[in-house]
Amino acid sequence: MSYSIKNITYQYSESGPRVLDDVSLTIEEGTVTAVVGPSGSGKTTLVQILSGVIPNLTAGGVLSGEMHLDRDGEPVLISVVSQNPENQLFGYGVEDAIAFGLENMGIPDEEISDSIEYVLDLLNLQHLRKRSVQALSGGQRQAVCIASVLAMKPQILIMDEPVSSLDPNGKMMIRNVLNQMKADNTTVLIADNNLDWSCDIVDRVVGLNEGKVLFEGTRDEFFRSFELQRTLGVMIPQEVEIYRALTEKDIPVSMFYQYRDAVDQLDGLFTDHPGSVKNSEIPVMKEPVVTTHQLNKVFKDGFQGLRDINVSIPEGSVTAILGQNGSGKTTLVKHLNGLLKPTTGDVRFRGQSIEGKSVAQVSRSVILVFQHPEHMLFEQTVLNELTFCARMQGLPYTDEDVMKILETYGLEDEKETFPLNLSMGKKHLLTILSVLLSHAEVVILDEPTLGMDLKIRSELEDIVKKLKDAGKTVIIISHEIPLVFRMVDYALILNNSVKLFEGTKEELSLRDDIFDSIDINLPPVVRLSRRYGFDHISYTVSDFAEQAAAVLDRQTREGGDA
Amino acid sequence: MDYLQYVDGNTFLHRLDPRTKFFFLVAMSLLTSVIKSAVALLFLLVFFLILWSTCGIMSEMVQLLKKLKVLLLFIFLLWLIMGIFEEPPVELLAPFFKGQVGPVVICFDWYDFYKGFVYALRIYLMIASFYTVLITTNFSEIILGLCKWHIPYSIAFAVGLVFQIIPIVIGELNAIMEAQSSRGLEIEQCNWATKVKNYIIFSFPLFFRVIGKAQAISLAMYYYKLDFSRKRSSYKTIKASKRDLVFTLLTFAVIACTIVLRIYFYVPV
């Protein structure tokens, strides 16, 4: 049994471009299908067409093609889980939220009760049933959201970027939920360009680009096509990147998706498994530029957000702040720029306390770029938005400076565009670019990769490098561990409002105990380069592949000599 | 930001049938709009203080008082100034100042303070009774309670949704203010005119955020097959208990005492 759409074409208006152009695809019953593609490829439009939002809620568009989304002539029920569960959950308690859709369908009370029990058991959520939705973590909310739509017994469940705002624990929870659904033979379609978290669950992949289907096939076929992955800008697990890089160096490995599988194969290739690298030199950092001293924060409701935090951020470094959601990361950075006042202790910039200064005054030294660009963008044009910080701080800038930035990051054609009309990734990029013209010596980026595709991510890495080269200090909060290890020099780890670690990336790479305690994994390249005793720890896939090739070459030569 | 948000709990007030709390709200709103006796209003305040402390919402009510302080001060001063142009109906204490300034007779005395106090206290109690019910009744209960009063589901749902959305909008406004000040916009050390101008600036991104939220909510309503023209079932039901009877009787007793105090201790204001 399968569902399909054939030759679907859609324009938002008669004269508008084709957002979807002759799209045909098949959804096999009981499988998990991933729809991937860069920003603007048509993923969201496809979700809206499959779910019936187009044309039922959206007027003025032109839709053509055939939809075979029925069973025995009856249309199937298709439910959607969006990326922000807080916008989707109706009802105060978990039970209220799950019952909402069933009540709307007029299902009798006893059946509602049975359905609630069924989904709570299926997704292992019984412990949450009496909780209020508000009190749940991001991952739990998303799981309840999935439960609430599953309770309606849809034939197809669509998940639109379901983990984009979740921390590693939240992602893990949704993976487990998805595994349960797969075992239950639920038909799932995931619209997400990030396959990092779901690649071992997905059965089939559909690749969209500029509204056209570029690929439709099995997961393994997709992951074997390196060029396709690059064209679509799909985010893949670092394990798959390693496989790709090793294959490109003609190292004989077969496809692996998980660390364990990588170890199984690479153990056979590398004869030595010493567990530590040969050169573990720790670089010396510069003097601190921002420090905190016995920083404590107790909120009005009595929750202690920070406990005795002492940190020294080295000047000119790129520093990561890591930890699960609720560990105190955002609370800490909001103290660094004066948005939050400490209960006790203080924050100093170049040895001077920031106490008594307004946030705007502190922003001349320490500037914070927020996680959600919609909170920051309010000018009429991209050009004005870019110069906002400079104007607020009364700093001079030339048209050439502005145009150079726009050209470098591909925004020159959009300089007169209304910023909120940009794609999510570009909006985020714009808020980050606006600090380039500011005076601040310390730039804090809170979850900067949110909504960014691979291309914009590489531009972000370029911006951070440029800021560092200009002598600025960059602090990044991120859950993307491989990206963090690629970019940073220094790291802080927070857990339950307490600092667990502060030191260089090289020191952190040796601390499995710290990562175990916060339930986050070190990047595969770090773990594997240590396992096979490479010359130094690898932080990038290309470096890992280089070192792997060198070690294998040495092994071959030594074997030949022997 | 938890202003206007339901405070989770399992106290006496939390466990009441929402209809009992709606009745309490209506009764207290009527009472505070007709009673102008300081003694009777102080009695009501004491009753509220006991209620708040037993139900663990005292800190929220203090927070409310802080939020309302400017409004209450304004009301107090307004009535105090208006009282200066009147003579007290009862001569209790000698006036601080009494005389004629041009054609106007001015009498500045205890009565002006009394009048300001009574009006400010009435307003606070009126808002506090609404707030007491709001923060101890979650929006699912609000919808259930209204439906039990035979209010159409579409209206009950809209009312519940408003109370679900208000805290989100306040949270969004806060986040926007924080984000803009982090980029260098001065919102702390500036005069009132600049503050007003800044709020106009913030309303722009807030408007788009609210529109975005509204779109997301309407999509979700579609996904959950919400159709007001169709009969829907109800998983949870509410039922009045002995607890509701006790509270209703207590409400009547408080109303009676307030009226008696009003009769015996009334200075016309």
Chain A residues whose beta carbon lies within 8 Å of the beta carbon of residue B235: 95-96, 99, 102-103, 109, 112-113, 116
Q: Which residue has the tokens 């029990």?
A: A117
pLDDT of amino acid A452: 80
Give Cα A165 distance to the centre of its chain: 7
- The answer to whether A375 contacts B176, with C-beta atoms less than 8 Å apart, is yes
In a shared domain, residues A263 and A341: no
How many domains is chain A partitioned into structurally? Answer: 3
Where residue A457 sits, what CATH number does that domain have? 3.40.50.300
Same domain, A333 and A307: yes
Q: A102: distance to nearest CA of chain B, Å?
A: 8
Could you give the residue ranges of the DSSP H alpha helices within A184-282? Answer: 219-224, 226-232, 238-248, 259-269
Residue of B nearest to A435 (CA): B183
Shared domain for A226 and A248, answered yes or no, is: no
Closest CA to A188 of A105, A44, A80: A80
- H-type alpha helices, A337-375: 359-362
Q: What is the mean pLDDT of residues A354-375?
A: 91
The reported pLDDT for the residue numbered A187 is 93
Tell me whether residues B220 and A90 touch, CB distance under 8 A: yes
Contacts of A111 (CB under 8 A, 6+ apart): A102
* B187 contacts A84? CB cut-off 8 A: no
Extract the tokens encoding A73: 């002539």
Q: Is omega for the bond preceding A55 within 30 degrees of 0, making it cis?
A: yes
* List of residues 6+ apart from A317 with CB closer than 8 A: A285, A286, A468, A473, A474, A488, A489, A490
Residue A542 has pLDDT above 90, yes or no: yes
Task: Please report residues of B whose CB lies closer than 8 A to that of A358.
Answer: 181, 186-189
Phi-psi region of B3 (alpha: psi -120 to 50; beta: other; left: phi over 0): beta
Range of the structural domain that residue A533 is part of: 244-280+525-561
Chain A contact probe: residue of B10, B135, B172, B183 with most A CBs at under 10 A: B183
Q: Collect all residues with Cβ–Cβ distance below 8 Å to A284 and sequence separation of at least 6.
A: none
Asked, for residue A431, whether it belongs to a domain, the answer is yes
Q: How many CB pairs under 8 A join A and B?
A: 167
- In sequence order, the 6+-apart residues with CB closer than 8 A to the CB of B60 are B2, B7, B131, B135
- The B residues from 140 to 159 touching A (CB cutoff 8 Å) are 140-141
Using one digit for the tens of pLDDT, what is the confidence trace for A294-311? 999 998 777 899 999 999
Q: Of the ranges A124-138, A370-384, B52-66, which is most confident?
A: B52-66
Residue A16 in any domain: the answer is yes
For residue A93, the chain B residue with the least C-alpha distance is: B140
Strands annotated E in A139-179: 156-160
- Please give the residue of chain A at the shortest CA–CA distance from B235: A109
Q: Residue B163: list chain A partners with CB under 8 A.
A: none
The string of pLDDT tens digits covering residues A339-349 is 999 999 999 99
Q: Cβ separation of A377 and B205 shorter than 8 Å? A: yes
Alpha-carbon span B96 to A471, nearest angstrom: 68
Contacts of B231 in chain A (CB under 8 A): 106
Last residue of a domain, one of A170, A203, A233: A233
pLDDT at res. B1? 45
Q: Do A364 and B184 touch (CB under 8 A)?
A: yes
How much of chain A exceeds pLDDT 70, in percent? 99
Q: Does the pLDDT value for residue A560 go beyond 70?
A: no
Q: What angle do CA B192, B193, B198 make, to 5 degrees?
A: 95
Q: Using the 8-state DSSP alphabet, how is residue A421 labeled?
A: G
pLDDT at A143: 87
pLDDT digits (tens, 9 = 90+) for A171-201: 888 888 888 888 888 899 999 989 999 988 9
- Put simply, the answer to whether B236 touches A104 (Cβ < 8 Å) is no
Task: Say whether A109 and B234 touch across the interface (CB within 8 A).
Answer: yes
CB A362 within 8 A of CB A527: no
Q: Would you report the helix, strand and coil content of chain B in percent, each value rounded to 5?
A: 70, 5, 25
Q: Say if A385 falls within a structural domain.
A: yes
Contacts of A108 in chain B (CB under 8 A): 233
What is the mean predicted confidence (pLDDT) over A477-483?
90
Interface test with A, best of B144, B154, B223, B234 (most A CBs within 10 A): B223
Token pair in block for residue B164: 């679900």
Provide the CB-side half-sphere exposure for A213 (13 A, CA): 18
Q: Which of B235, B237, B238 should be substituted to probe chain A, the one whose Cβ sees the most A Cβ atoms within 10 Å? A: B235
Tell me which chain A residue has its CA closest to the CA of residue B143. Answer: A91
- CA-atom Rg of chain B in angstroms: 23
Per-residue pLDDT, averaged over B93-100, amounts to: 82
Give the Cα separation of A29 and A2 in Å (integer).
5
pLDDT digits (tens, 9 = 90+) for B171-199: 888 888 998 889 888 888 888 888 888 88
pLDDT of residue A216: 96
In a domain, residue A22? The reply is: yes
Give the dihedral sign, CA B5/B11/B16/B21: negative
Cβ contacts of B3 on chain A, cutoff 8 Å? none
For residue B211, count CB atoms less than 10 angstroms from its CB and return exposed for 0-12, middle for 13-18, buried for 19 or more: exposed
Report yes or no on A520 lying in a domain.
no
CA dist., res. B64 & res. B2, Å (int): 11
Q: Answer yes or no: do A501 and A544 share one domain.
A: no
d(CA A294, CA A307): 8
Question: Count of alpha carbons within 13 Å of A403, Cβ hemisphere only?
Answer: 3
Q: Are A368 and A271 within one domain?
A: no
**Bridge partners of A288?**
A314
The residue count for chain A: 562
Any idea what the Cα angle at residue B179 is, between residues B202 and A398, rounded to 5°? 90
A309 and A404 co-located in one domain: yes
Q: Are residues A50 and A152 in the same domain?
A: yes
| pLDDT value, residue A218 | 95
Asked whether the beta carbons of residue B184 and residue A358 sit closer than 8 angstroms, the reply is no
Residues A179 and A293 in one domain: no
Contacts 24+ apart (CB under 8 A), B206-211: B206/B169, B206/B172, B206/B173, B206/B176, B208/A374, B208/A420, B209/A374, B209/A375, B209/B172, B209/B176, B210/B169, B210/B172
User: Which chain B residue's Cα is nearest to A340?
Assistant: B178
The residues in B 87-106 lying below 8 A from A, measured between CB atoms, are none
A75 and A188 share one domain: yes
d(CA A11, CA A49): 12
Q: If you average pLDDT over residues A67-86, what whole number do you get?
A: 86
- Is the pLDDT score of A559 beyond 80? no
Separation in Å, CA of B93 to nearest CA in chain A: 43
Same-domain status, A298 and A250: no
Residue A122 covered by a domain: yes
Chain B residue whose CA is closest to A88:
B220
Provide ipTM, 2 decimals.
0.79
Average pLDDT over residues B207-232: 89
Domain match, A64 and A152 both: yes
Average pLDDT over residues B238-266: 94
A225 within some domain: yes
Angstroms from A137 CA to nearest CA on chain B: 16
> Are A301 and B178 a contacting pair at CB < 8 A?
no
Task: Answer whether residue A562 shows pLDDT above 60.
Answer: no
Question: Does some domain include residue A519?
Answer: no
Distance CA A81, CA A298 (A): 35
Q: Is B203 on the interface with A (CB under 8 A)?
A: no
HSE-CB for B66 with a 13 A CA cutoff:
7
Nearest CA in chain A to B206: A375
Of A52, A376, A392, the CB nearest to B179: A376
Looking at the complex, does the CB of residue B185 fall below 8 Å from at least one CB of chain A?
yes
Question: Based on the domain organization, do A179 and A255 belong to the same domain?
Answer: no
Rounded mean pLDDT, A136-155: 87
User: Is there a contact between B233 and A112 if contact means CB atoms under 8 Å apart?
Assistant: yes
Residues A260/A266, Cβ–Cβ less than 8 Å: no
Please tell me the distance in Å from B53's CA to the nearest CA on chain A.
16
Q: What is the DSSP secondary-structure string of A45-98?
A: HHHHHHHTHHHHT--S-EEEEEEE-EETTEEPPEEEE-S-GGGT--SSBHHHHH
Strand A288-298 to strand A70-71: parallel, antiparallel, or no bridges (unpaired)? unpaired
Contact A359 B181 (CB under 8 A): yes
Cβ separation of B140 and A93 shorter than 8 Å? Answer: yes
What is the pLDDT averaged over residues A402-427? Answer: 88
> For residue A371, which amino acid is it?
Q
Tell which residue, A88, A163, A97, has the closest CA to residue B216. Answer: A88
B209 residue type, one letter: R
> Is the pLDDT reported for residue A215 higher than 90?
yes
For CA atoms A466, A467, A471, A473, the dihedral sign is negative
Using an 8 Å CB-CB cutoff, list chain B residues near A132.
Answer: 6, 8, 138
Q: Select from B183, B201, B208 the Cβ nearest to the Cβ of A374.
A: B208
More confident residue, A112 or A439: A112
State the nearest Cα–Cα gap between A141 and chain B, in angstroms.
15
Between CA A105 and CA A107 the distance in angstroms is 6
Given a cut of 50, whether residue B18 has pLDDT beyond it is: yes
Q: How far apart are CA A388 and CA A532, in angstroms?
A: 50
Chain B CA closest to residue A420: B208
**B177 to chain A: nearest residue by CA?**
A375
Dist. CA A537–CA A524, nearest whole Å: 11
